[in-house]
Chains A and B, each alone.
Chain A
Amino acid sequence: MENVKDIVLDYVKQEYLEDGDDREIKYDTALITGGFVDSFSMVSLKVFLETKYNISIPDDKATPEAFDSVNNIVDLLKGFGVN
């Protein structure tokens, strides 16, 4: 079974990189500050996580820092019992 880290990474690559964009995204790549995901796009990423893992992430937890890398997102998800 695919682990959470890879599911999130695959989703980010699939949704936030254009076909043909050859930039690499790794677990620790800066997503927000690095310009892959902006504050508006963060909303769709949040909806994905909530839908996929059947959780509700309150606004005060959905900060740019918490979404700034796949590693950070995985840490955030751990707080909701998603491992």
Chain B
Amino acid sequence: MHNISSYEETIENFSWKSVEEELGYKPGDTINIGEYCTDRICRLGMGKRKALIWQDHSGNVKTWTFDQMRIDTNSIAWYLENMGIKPGDRVCLFMDKVPELYLGFLGILKMGAIVQPLFSAFGTESLETRLEDAKTTAIITQKKHLPKIRNILKDTEYLKYIIIVDQTDELHLKDREHILDVENLPKLDHYHIYKSTAETPSVLHYTSGTTGKPKGAQHVHYSIISQYITTKYSLDLKEDDIYWCTADPGWVTGTSYGIIGPWSNGITQCVLDSGFTAEGWYSFIEKHKITVWYTAPTAIRALMKEGEEVIKKHDLSSLRFLASIGEPLNAEAVLWSDKVFGMKFHDTYWQTETGSMVISNYPCMKVKPGSMGKPFPGMEVGLVDINTHEYFDKKGVVGIIAVKPGWPAMFRAYWNKKETYDQKFVNGWYLCGDRASIDEDGYFWFVGRDDDVINTAGHLVGPFEIESALLEHPAVAESAAIGKPDQINMEVVKAFIALKPGFEQNKMLELEIMNFIRKKLSPLAMPQEIEFVKSLPKTRSGKIMRRVLKAKEWGEEIGDISTLENDM
């Protein structure tokens, strides 16, 4: 039996109020994600249940029960409060997938500060841009990431505390640096958890757009209502499940469904802090008898590439439900999983701003390979016209995916960017920025982005950020970045570069530029291909026409080029 047995009946009977009641919440009550994921679960009698099974790349395993997690997150909250961090301050988590990342997330929320998770592979510029925008008060990190932080320290006076979780030697601490040794903190059975209410800010996740700097999508504690029920219905998690979400909490999937969703349901989840190999992943599933697995299409395609022999070496019979998120899951991958695991991956669709799933393939529903699925109950999801942004209800016609505002996990602001936030809402709809069509049975089918943002391995990368960074390289006169089709990652970054006089194109320069961007921004933003050109296509007003480059790359019609200034 699945948690929902009929999609249609669930749609009919669903209300957010009933979810609130299921969680024991009434409007006006205190609601704190940290409390809901730990203390509340213990009060429900599940304190002795394993909450976290963590494993590193050497195979070392550590576990926490919900009760141990409750105490450790109390202790972290107390530590941060004593240090001088105040409710509403932004506290950045800049770590690999170590236990302190997960405990820290809940500890920060318990003391009322706002969590700002950042992907630990970000380079110095990506890190600084996001800390500067949020005026982050504290950053919790590992020793290995300290050099990046120390590099930007002189320009970040707002950053008062640099908290290191694996430093034992106080002698080597520098300005503003502190040690957080979670194991040796006083074990606090009681902590006065911050009395946040529904609209109290909780998490600040940064996301990229076509233009300008990354934007901080700000969420609230009430988001847990969405994250709890979508986890229950779309991922079908039940009390005996052992769940594995492969996403890094530097991105929204890693927090909404790698922390809040499973733990608000009292579910045991596993974390693997190791780079990807097929052998490593299958061994992990076998060792911990994982039952529900939520991963990314990029990872699924990488596993497909590794073949079936490696699967046969492992007993994966514990698996009972598979789901994916990040970018559209191609039909071949769905059919492949059916063949090799005996079950299909269920694709889900949502984004940083939505905070929780918007469209899913539910366990009780027939999967149409390649489809995104159907809207989550309680959410009005439709298509609006690409040009007019007017709602329409025509089957098979492509439009922009739009959601009626009002679901609990909807972002409440772009940090300090009200105008940009307001622009996301048109004619009473939140516009997702993705194009899709709807078939006769109500299934959504992804078509592509409605802008120039690059979706690589499920992560959005802004072309403007890459182009700006490229211009800082001494050899680059002008540049354009686009998404290039890729079998594994859906898209990878391709850069077109015109060199300054005196520089000659060659493979070593190409490699130098690739590494320049990797270190400055992130490995995701690093161009995987560079094409050197004499000049870039521009409008008469001097704006680079990325769409011309993209159309050529994708073999599509170039469209109207009447404003093109030069021949390519």
Contacts and interface: CB of A to CB of B under 8 A. Distances in A.
Contact of A35 (B57, B277, B305, B515): B57
Interface stretch (B100-108, B233-241, B522-530): B522-530
A40 to B, nearest CB: 4
Interface in A47-68: 47-48, 50-51, 60, 63-65, 68
Interface stretch (B416-424, B506-514, B552-560): B506-514
Interface residues of B, number: 33
Nearest to A65: B277
B148 interface: yes
A19 B147 contact: yes
Contact of A33 (B121, B275, B306, B457): B275
Most buried by B among A34, A41, A65, A68: A41
A38 B96 CA distance: 12
Nearest to A51: B507
Given A38-B121, A39-B276, A44-B515, A18 B510 contact: no
Contacts of A43: 514, 526, 528
Contacts of B276: 32, 38-39, 64
Interface string A18-49: 11110100000011111101111101100110
A70 B511 CA distance: 19
Contact of A40 (B279, B507, B524): B524
Contacts of B147: 18-21
A62 to B, nearest CB: 10
B186 interface: no
B146 interface: yes
A47 B514 CA distance: 10
Interface residues of A, number: 28
Contacts of A64: 275-278
B473 interface: no
B508 A41 contact: no
Given A19-B147, A20-B146, A44-B515, A34 B526 contact: no
B526 A40 contact: yes
Given A18-B147, A23-B144, A32 B275 contact: yes
In the A-B complex, the 6 residue pairs with the closest CB atoms = A20-B147, A40-B523, A18-B147, A32-B275, A51-B507, A33-B57
25 contacts: A18-B145, A20-B150, A21-B146, A30-B57, A33-B274, A33-B275, A33-B277, A33-B280, A34-B57, A35-B57, A35-B96, A38-B121, A38-B275, A39-B457, A40-B456, A41-B523, A41-B526, A43-B514, A43-B528, A47-B511, A47-B514, A51-B508, A64-B275, A64-B276, A64-B277
Given A21-B144, A38-B275, 15 more contacts: A19-B147, A20-B147, A21-B146, A32-B277, A33-B57, A33-B275, A39-B276, A39-B302, A40-B518, A40-B523, A40-B526, A44-B518, A64-B278, A65-B277, A68-B277
Interface of B: 57, 96, 121, 144-148, 150, 273-280, 302, 305-306, 456-457, 507-508, 510-511, 514-515, 518, 523-524, 526, 528
